[in-house]
Amino acid sequence: MPRDFYEVLGVPRTATADEIKRAHRKLVKEFHPDQNKSAGAAERFREVQEAYEVLSDERKRGLYDQYGHAGLAGGGPGFEGAPGSGAGAGPGGQWRNVSPENLEEIFGGMGGFGDFFSGAAGGRRGARAGRGGAAGRGAGAGFGGFGEPGPPPADTMRETVDFMTAALGGTRSISVGGDGAAGRIDLKIPAGIVPGSKLRVAGKGRGGGDLLVEIDVAPHPWFRRDGLDILLDVPVTIVEASLGAKVDIPLLKGTVSLKIPAGTSSGRRIRVAGQGIASRSATGDFYAVPQIVAPASLSAEDESSLRDIGTRIADPRVGRWA
């Protein structure tokens, strides 16, 4: 699994834009291939650049914070339009099952390729129908202009689902036009669906055509995801982080008593195997991410004790910026 971008830059998730910029500048200076010839420096430099490209962009950072690396990729295995999915995937079948609308979008600027799909591209249908041409390419011509009746254009709509339904799967009742129950359908949401995925509903578009439902996913107050993995920030005290502890945390389903190892630092990922998202092909893991919360106030006695302990603890910054 790719490393966490905040971990790559060595900044907390709450880092400001200036803090991210400063961390990037320092790491670039340290790992730039022109300055650092050691093994692994070039790969580390590439990793730093990739992290900074995302975290320095407000929109990309927002997607990453909520959905992890999967939020940057868009689509998802098994969903319409996703790279490597059934829509056009497979050796020797790069465009198999790709709709005319998608080909129109891909090849629209390539010198008339879109005309091959005259009559199948939604709102542009009427404009092309008047061009005429061979083999029945007039008004009412079918798919490809060869006189065969073509499929009606597919309608597209957007629907927002809650985080848990997107993660675990379920059914959502959506309105597709009309009044009352007659204008609603039950849409099956596959487990692990990501924002931008499209679900096709046969026969629910205009004129009996298909309906494409583009999915948005609402954020969750605690959980975020990275592919099929689920991440949860877990506040811990400085005592729990230093000496170790057991804390109860929520999972997607149920709870678990999590062991916090002694000497845990903020940002460390503690894995709970197999408790992430279970898709049709794989199951992710659950990661608790401890965040040390310092006390807002201390008694004079506790403050004195901490100062005394502090004199015997090694400085974690020694040698870090040398």
Q: Are residues 107 and 161 both part of a single domain?
A: no
Residue at 62 is within a domain: no
Residue at 65 is within a domain: no
**Where a domain ends, among 90, 123, 145?**
145
Residue at 256 is within a domain: yes
Q: Are residues 169 and 236 both part of a single domain?
A: no
Q: Are residues 115 and 137 both part of a single domain?
A: yes
The total number of structural domains that make up the chain: 4
Residue at 181 is within a domain: yes
Q: What is the pTM of this model?
A: 0.55
Averaged over successive runs of 10 residues, the pLDDT of the chain (322 residues) comes to 86 89 89 82 88 89 83 50 36 36 40 40 39 40 46 76 94 76 82 91 82 92 94 96 96 96 95 93 94 94 94 90 80
Q: Are residues 307 and 238 both part of a single domain?
A: yes
**Where a domain ends, among 90, 113, 145?**
145
Q: Which residues of 272-286 are buried (b: 16+ CB within 10 A; e: fewer)?
A: beebbbbbeeeebbb
The SS3 of residue 106 is helix
Asked if 176 contacts 204 with a C-beta cutoff of 8 angstroms, the reply is yes
289: CATH:
2.60.260.20
Q: How far is CA 108 from CA 104, 116, 159, 184, 306, in A?
A: 5, 10, 27, 34, 68
Residue at 252 is within a domain: yes
Q: Are residues 258 and 202 both part of a single domain?
A: no
The SS3 of residue 310 is helix
Question: Any residues with CB less than 8 A from the CB of 306 and at least 6 apart, and which?
Answer: 298
Q: Are residues 305 and 242 both part of a single domain?
A: yes
Q: Give the structural domain span for 24.
A: 1-56
Residue at 208 is within a domain: yes
Asked if 2 contacts 9 with a C-beta cutoff of 8 angstroms, the reply is no
Q: Where would I find the H helices in 198-319?
A: 238-243, 300-310
- So what's the pLDDT on residue 104? 41
Asked if 203 contacts 148 with a C-beta cutoff of 8 angstroms, the reply is no
Q: Are residues 264 and 239 both part of a single domain?
A: yes
Q: Are residues 176 and 208 both part of a single domain?
A: yes
Q: Are residues 139 and 161 both part of a single domain?
A: no
Residue at 64 is within a domain: no
Residue at 243 is within a domain: yes
